[in-house]
Structures are given as C-alpha cells and as structure tokens.
Structure 1
Amino acid sequence: MSDFERELGWDDEIEKDGSDFILLPEGDYDFAVESFERGRHNGSEKLPACNKAMLKLRIDTPDGTALINHNLFLHTKTEGMISAFFTSIGQKKKGEKIKMNWNAVIGAKGRCKVGIHEWTGTDGEKRQGNDIKKFYPFEEKKFEAGKF
C-alpha cells in the first residue's frame, strides 16, 4: 500500500494515529528520499496538466522523524526546481544537462530549506504544515562521512 495521500474506500483498513505529526521549525535540514511515485497533475490556473513526481522526504530530528510530501511538476515552468532537487541529491552539477534518473531517487540524501505554510481546514480551524522552500547543492564530503 502506498504512503501517499489517496481516497479511502468504505471498506479500507486504517491504522495511522494523528499523534505522529511533527511540525519542524523553519530552517535548513538534511533529508533522505523515503519514497517516490509517478503521478499526474490535472492542471490549474498556474500550471497546465503534466506529469509529477510525488516524493516523501524524511527528516530525522532529536524530536522524531518528520515526513514531508513534495511534488515535482515535470514542466518547463518548474524545471529550475527539478534541477535543484537533482543537484541536491548529487545527480547533477550546476550548469550540467542530465537525463533524470528516477530509479536512483529512493534513498538519496540532500539538504533543503523547510518552511511552514498555514491554511484553514474545512472545519474552519487554522492548520500548519511543512513544505520545501529550496534545495541546496549536494555536499559530497558531508554525506560520505556517514553523518546524516
């Protein structure tokens, strides 16, 4: 079963409790790609329909593990963010042209800037969650030492 958000059927099994959520303070964090799925963006006012990579990034902290869902939209409008992601995990160098190697994404490590976004739930309550603001270039020495 996938860990990505999806519609539940009436007879599906559930197990997740709501208490596992960790809201990270804004800042810079090391991450590992926990999972990746191929999906489709149906289009919006800002971006036409296109393929999307649905990533789940794991950030380990002293307070526990935070999981952040992040979509990379495969469109020329968002090519800079895709390039930044592949640079962050060490698959691409700045200014280099590459073919995206999605088979090597799971388990890859990198560094990112995490932000907090707020929204109002359907119940009218204010909610908060984390999102990725930026990916930083890969630092080979940092991850070679096994310190993640």
Structure 2
Amino acid sequence: MADEIKNTENQELDWDSPISKDAGEFEIPPIGEYTFTVANLEKTMSKSGNKMADLTISLDVNGQAYVRHDYLVLTSNMAWKLASFFECIGLKEKGQELTHMPWDKVPGARGRCKIIHEDYNGRPTVRIDRYLPLTGSAPAQATAATAPANDMPFEV
C-alpha cells in the first residue's frame, strides 16, 4: 500500500539529478514483534463518520524505520483496541479505568506491537495485529533535545 515506507540512507537529489533506479518493490518486515514510536497522530473521521485517530507508527526493524499507519476508531466496540494501545505505550494501567484518553502524550510514545502479513490487491502488506502489554517499566517517551541557553547556532 502507499502508506508503507522503508527508510534507508537518504541522499538529497538536485532538481536535475538523473534517476537510474526502476520502481522497486517494498520489502516488508517478517511477521513478529517490534518496538515502535508514534511518529504522528492525526485526529480525523472514519468513512462511517466516527472519530478516528490516524497513527503514523515507525517500527524499528533491525535498526531501519518502517512506517505504517494504524487507525483507532473511537467507538464502544473498539474500546478494547484503544485500551490495548494506551496500555502498550504506558498511559493506562491494566484493570484501571482511563478517565480520559491523553492524546497529547501519544506523539513520540514508544511501545511494542505484533505485525502480520495480509494480502491487499494480490500483494502482501503489513498490518499491526495487536499492541503488546508493557513488561517491566514503561517505554521511554521521546523528548526533544535541548541546548543550553548560551549555545546559539549564530552570534548575537
């Protein structure tokens, strides 16, 4: 699918650069469990008109980033998946009610998930099968790097 991206070493091209490669096939990661980071969250609507979180998930596949989208529909029928996701990223404790969903803490959150392969229009694709519960301590939340106040990239 178009929302699958495998990041490898990326070199900048000029507007006039030649292109020697043919369109390639995406290499999909093997079925298994992977650590992920939520790269982006977009609040949107599903095709049926329900509120939906469009998550951009960056899977760590042997040191390479593999980007997938996953969709969390905000309905009572999907509460199990919402709970599983928030438990996975350390924002909900199993067996405890979550009084509100802390969407502002989702971008940059880390967790683990299991992926499977599915056939999509005759081609294999990756789907997040389930979010895995935390084991041990919560995954580290990604934070922005900070520089000392006097460390300016230019002279004042």
Q: Distance in 1 between matches of 2:65 and 2:24?
A: 12
Residue 131 (str. 1) matches residue 127 (str. 2): yes
In the TM superposition, what are the counterparts of 1:1-148 in structure 2 within 5 Å?
19=24, 21-43=26-48, 49-62=49-62, 64-98=64-98, 99-120=100-121, 126-141=122-137, 143=139
Higher strand share: 1
* TM-score of the aligned structures, taking structure 2 as reference length: 0.69
Partner deviation per Cα, 1:34-77 (whole Å, 9 max, x = no partner): 1110110122xxxxx31000001111223621111000000001
| Unmatched runs of 5 consecutive residues or more in structure 1 | 6-16, 44-48, 121-125
Question: Identity of aligned pairs, percent?
Answer: 27
> Do the aligned partners of 1:22 and 1:64 also contact (CA within 8 Å) in 2?
no
Question: Which entry has the higher C-alpha Rg, 1 or 2?
Answer: 2
Deviation, 1:18, is: 5.8
Q: How many residues are paired up?
A: 121
2:130 corresponds to which letter in structure 1? K
Partner deviation per Cα, 1:1-52 (whole Å, 9 max, x = no partner): xxx79xxxxxxxxxxx965844111111111101110110122xxxxx3100
* TM-score of the aligned structures, taking structure 1 as reference length: 0.73
| Unmatched runs of 5 consecutive residues or more in structure 2 | 5-21, 143-156
Higher helix share: 1
In structure 1, the residue corresponding to 2:137 is in which secondary structure? helix
**1:21–1:130 Cα change, 3 Å:** same
